[in-house]
Amino acid sequence: MTTDKKKIWMIIDHPWQLSLAVAIRVACPTSTGFNLIISRHKYWKFIESDSYQNHFDQVLFFEEPERAHNLKGVFQFIKSVKKLRRQIEKLPVGEDDVFLTLSYFKYVENIVTSVFSRNKQIFLCRGDMRGLVHKKLSDILFSKEFWITKSGWVHYLLLEPLLMLKKRTLFYWIKGKEQTHETSYSAPVELLYDKVFVIKSVFKKNLEPAEIYFPYYLLRNEQKQTGERARIVFFLADFVRNENYYNKISQILQNLRKQYQGQYFLEIRLHPNKLNEFELVNCDGWTINREPGNAEQYLIRHASEIALAVSHLSTSALFAASIGIPAYSYHRCFGFNSNFLQRFERIFADMPEEFFMTSLESFPAPYATKPVTPNEIRNSLQKLYSVL
């Protein structure tokens, strides 16, 4: 089935990509129709659907096939992909429609772009992912830091070619006590998409031609929601544990309390994976925030009320800074493994030096570097809109 009116099909998976999709839609200067394809993630149960449903003509959820880890899993994966392909083939995609991918390494996206390979396809790549999104097989095989699991080999050598998927993936683990893993495409993304844009921090000056700014600021809510005094928010993050992990978080929380109690309302925002994690730290003087929605929705809703956004690791600090909230991270103070630490150094690469706390006793200081203006953000988006 096809339609005559050109549409943009945005593909996302994790809820962090939702605000990016909404901002791109809201700032679009034309009346082009936008549909949203979502590869379902467990965190979607925490998202308020009213915050995004009205921005899109259609919002379609698809179940992500589960990776195969044994022989039974192989047959189940093949069955799931074939079922998903039949569903996707029924989408009302016109020959002039464009696919805009914000998703990474998900099979829903892989199947969509394989089924509709003749349509224009654009990929938005976060700056910190640019060096990870593609790795050659030899990059992993001859590295002392990585190894490919049996599941990774089965998908790369058997399942993805057998199912005629456009993209072949390399799923590999990174050596270190934190036991983290990554996925990369085995081919350069420039060969997999018609156009690739890299999304950069609002603190980076002089963008390259294929770079655009994070557009989150365009969603900022300037209306104060309560009559309370300004707040400081600490974001817990469910990523890793290391020696004295919770004691270090407690130390940060209590240092901040002594510095700011009475001047600010102190609030802890929980991670959806660990809603009871606050019981493991010393939260004296802090209030637990349980508002619905994810961190991005919370920050947008309370942008004008939040004086500081602080975390030991959460990437929510990057989002906060992108919408004009002074944000700070203590991740350099925890003694994380170098491979794990480098992951977050990449994410925060363009942040001002004041963003990086130097010790557990450090306190936030004003940024010396100012972010770009909303007009500069809008202007950068014109690069994207010109090819849609």
237 vs 31: CA distance, rounded Å: 38
CA-CA-CA-CA dihedral for 11, 15, 21, 27, to nearest 10: 170
* Lateral strand order in the sheet of 211-213: 58-62, 33-39, 7-12, 98-101, 120-126, 195-200, 211-213
Please give the average per-residue pLDDT across 105-117, as a whole number.
Answer: 97
**Topology, domain 7-134+188-200:** Rossmann fold (3.40.50)
pLDDT confidence of residue 227: 60
pLDDT confidence of residue 176: 61
Q: What percent of the chain has pLDDT over 70?
A: 96
In the predicted structure, residue 125 carries a pLDDT above the cut 80:
yes
Please give the average per-residue pLDDT across 183-195, as a whole number.
Answer: 96
Residues 6+ apart with CB under 8 A from 243: 335
Fold agreement (7-134+188-200, 231-355): yes
pLDDT confidence of residue 69: 93
Least confident of 204-208, 220-224, 275-279, 302-306: 220-224
Give the pair of three-digit tokens for residue 354: 């004041």
Nearest to 297 by CA among 221, 353, 355: 221
Which residue type, as a one-letter code, is found at position 49? Answer: S
Q: Which residues is 58 bridged to in the sheet?
A: 35
265 vs 228: CA distance, rounded Å: 8
- Among 3.40.50.2000, 3.40.50.300, 3.30.1960.10, 3.40.640.10, what is the CATH number of 231-355? 3.40.50.2000
pTM: 0.91
Q: What percent of the chain has pLDDT over 90?
A: 76
Please give the average per-residue pLDDT across 90-100, as a whole number.
Answer: 96
pLDDT confidence of residue 226: 62
Give the pair of three-digit tokens for residue 54: 């009205």
328 vs 324: CA distance, rounded Å: 12
In the predicted structure, residue 384 carries a pLDDT above the cut 90:
yes
In the predicted structure, residue 348 carries a pLDDT above the cut 90:
yes
Please give the average per-residue pLDDT across 221-235, as a whole number.
Answer: 79
Nearest to 197 by CA among 266, 328, 101, 107: 101
Looking at the chain, the number of H-run helices and the number of E-run strands are 12, 15
pLDDT confidence of residue 239: 67
pLDDT confidence of residue 13: 94
Sequence ranges of the domains in the chain: 7-134+188-200, 231-355
* Model confidence band, residue 198 (pLDDT cutoffs 50, 70, 90): very high
51 vs 296: CA distance, rounded Å: 11
pLDDT confidence of residue 180: 74
Please give the average per-residue pLDDT across 344-351, as a whole number.
Answer: 93
* Model confidence band, residue 3 (pLDDT cutoffs 50, 70, 90): very low
**CB neighbour burial string for 63-82, b if at least 16 within 10 angstroms, e if fewer:** ebbebbeeeebbeebbebbe
Nearest to 242 by CA among 323, 310, 313, 164: 313
Q: Hey, is 82 helix, strand or coil? A: helix
φ/ψ (deg, to 5) at 312: -90, -15
In the predicted structure, residue 2 carries a pLDDT above the cut 50:
no
* Model confidence band, residue 124 (pLDDT cutoffs 50, 70, 90): very high
In the predicted structure, residue 110 carries a pLDDT above the cut 90:
yes
Give the pair of three-digit tokens for residue 331: 């991740």
Per residue in 247-259, pLDDT (tens digit) is 999 999 999 999 9
Nearest to 78 by CA among 63, 67, 62, 90: 67
319 vs 307: CA distance, rounded Å: 14
Please give the average per-residue pLDDT across 275-294, as a whole number.
Answer: 92
Name the packing angle between helices 71-89 and 107-115 (round to 10°): 50
In the predicted structure, residue 47 carries a pLDDT above the cut 90:
no
Instruction: Please count the other Cβ atoms lying within 10 Å of the Cβ belonging to residue 373.
Output: 11
In the predicted structure, residue 178 carries a pLDDT above the cut 60:
no
